[in-house]
Amino acid sequence: MSPRGQARQAGLFAEIGRVAEVIEGGGEAQELLVELPHRPTPEPALLYLGLCPQPVAKGDTVLLNTTAVRLSLGSGGYHFVIAKLNAPEAAGQVAAPGHIMKLRYTPLQVRCLAAEEPQSPSHEALQQADSIAGMPVVVAGLHSQVAPIAAAVKAHTAGKARIAYIMNDTACLVLAFSRLVEELRNKGLIDITITTGQALGGDLETVNIYSGLLAAKLAAKADLAILAQGPGNVGTDTLFGFGAIYQGEAVNAVAVLGGLPVAALRLSFVDPRPRHQGVSQQFLISLGRVALRRAVVALPKLEEKKLRLLRKQLKDWGISRRHEVVMEEGEAGLEELRRLGIKVSSMGRSMEEDREFFLAAAAAGMAAAKRVNL
């Protein structure tokens, strides 16, 4: 076999396991413990009912994708169920509306009813739509920024602003993987979810981020949107090889549709990686090189020594010239998270361990909230 053939075979690790326990059976994601050959103890796995609509029970045999765990990647330590092997022949046939396929041309392609298509109740509103009429949209690079952004908006508007979370397809593709979004929904910080492109599982499905933004305004009746990828940002320690680069592209999309883009600043003073110290290199590339339209960039209120470093980085990359840099207080957002008992983390660091990271996201939420028309 050629080396190329070997590489292709090694791209996906699939193993057969046995369900040892069903930990959580509700919702769109079923959490399991599975026994695998030659493994000393059962290991966690997830079954997405939208992709494998065959609920499992203890003792069932399942085919698992074990790639991420075998490579020690940041998938949350889960295997993923591909199929239930001891299901009846006709199991899993579910009548569902829609003609738009997501995960297209893969063994797990799935149909959905996109908000734009003719059968959708939103089709008429979206058919000729080309503007979101000044709606503020906070564009974040990381999924972990969504909670402080939403909390700051709700805090400033006394809970009145209707928030749509738009998840694009540059990281996790299945919304149900995010327990954070479920908690934010349950505690009133997010009102509706929209999944775009190949991402799926939102209250509304859309074909791309443009129609996702239009759906947020016209179908979901949102006052403000947060556009961010799901869990699992990709990074390669190269200038342009990272998933969050969409942040710059999303700024352009919001502006093209007549919205107000607010870019959530990614910063840290405790991240050990040089490219993420102060303002993250990923943000500097996204807003300094990729974003072609003007956005609001909110600096959180910090001690002057730290602000000097951040201002210098923004100036050196031309961001303070090309965008509107404002100063905002983000503490109200963090306090709202504490009040609701929502624990957040990023790169394994809690709000207390990397306070400035979360404060910057909340500052972006505050900047957007002050521009909401209620």
Residue with tokens 């090309």: 322
Quick: pLDDT tens for 282-331: 999 999 999 999 999 999 999 999 999 999 999 999 999 999 999 999 99
Beta bridge partners of 346: 349
Residue 4 has pLDDT above 50, yes or no: no
pLDDT at 168: 98
- Alpha-carbon distance of 176 to 284, in angstroms, equals 30
Does 123-369 match 12-84 at the fold level? no
Q: Do residues 206 and 114 make contact, with C-beta atoms less than 8 angstroms apart?
A: yes
Q: Highest-confidence range of 45-59, 105-119, 146-160, 266-280, by mean pLDDT?
A: 146-160
Instruction: Give the model's pLDDT for residue 38.
Output: 85
Assess whether pLDDT exceeds 80 at residue 90: no
Select the CATH number that applies to the domain covering 123-369 from these four: 1.10.510, 1.25.40, 3.40.50, 3.15.10: 3.40.50
Q: What span, in angstroms and rounded, lies between the C-alpha atoms of 199 and 363? A: 27
Query: Could you tell me the CA-to-CA distances from 70 to 12, 56, 65, 98, 337 in Å, in that order?
Result: 10, 23, 10, 36, 35
Which pLDDT does position 88 carry in this prediction? Answer: 67
Question: What's the CATH number for 12-84?
Answer: 2.40.50
The mean pLDDT of 237-259, rounded to a whole number, is: 96
- What is residue 3's predicted lDDT score, i.e. its pLDDT? 38
Mean pLDDT of 345-372: 94
CA distances 178 to 193, 226, 230, Å, are: 12, 15, 7
Contact yes or no for 257/219 (Cβ under 8 A):
no
Residues in the chain: 374
Domain limits of the chain?
Answer: 12-84, 123-369
Quote the pLDDT of residue 276. 86
Here the tokens at position 51 are 């992709």
Which 8-state DSSP code applies to residue 174?
A: B
108-140 per-position pLDDT tens digit: 899 999 999 999 999 999 999 999 999 999 999
Q: In this predicted structure, what is the pLDDT of residue 97? A: 82
CB-CB contact of 209 with 197 (8 Å): yes
pLDDT of residue 53: 78
Percentage of the chain beyond pLDDT 90 is 78
Distance between CA 68 and CA 170 in Å, rounded? 17
146-175: pLDDT as tens digits: 999 999 999 999 999 999 999 999 999 999
Residues in contact with 44: Cβ distance below 8 Å, sequence separation at least 6, in sequence order: 23, 31, 32, 33, 34, 77, 78, 79
Average pLDDT over residues 344-366: 93
Predicted TM-score (pTM) of the model is: 0.92
The pLDDT value recorded for residue 7 is 38
Is it the case that residue 1 has pLDDT exceeding 90? no
Which carries the bigger pLDDT value, residue 107 or residue 181? Answer: 181
Mean of pLDDT over the chain: 92
